[in-house]
Amino acid sequence: MNKELLDIYSDYLISQNHYATATGLSDLLEGSISHDKVTRFLNKNHFGSKELWRALLRKI
């Protein structure tokens, strides 16, 4: 699992007050991470609510 991308994605989820999307994250980062890379990362790893909560809990 790419910890750096997970950290970026979890920060993005925390900061969003609307729908969070891979395209939205890519736009926010001005294309430095493509939406395809985010989508592949999420599809490759199992992120149920329990796993995402653990990752986000460290940030809160």
Residues 6+ apart with CB under 8 A from 20: 12, 13
**Beta carbons of 45 and 5 less than 8 angstroms apart:** no
Residues 6+ apart with CB under 8 A from 33: 5, 8, 25, 26
pTM above 0.85, yes or no: no
Q: Write the pLDDT tens digit of every residue in 1-60.
A: 588 888 888 888 888 888 889 999 999 999 999 999 999 988 887 777 787 777 777 766
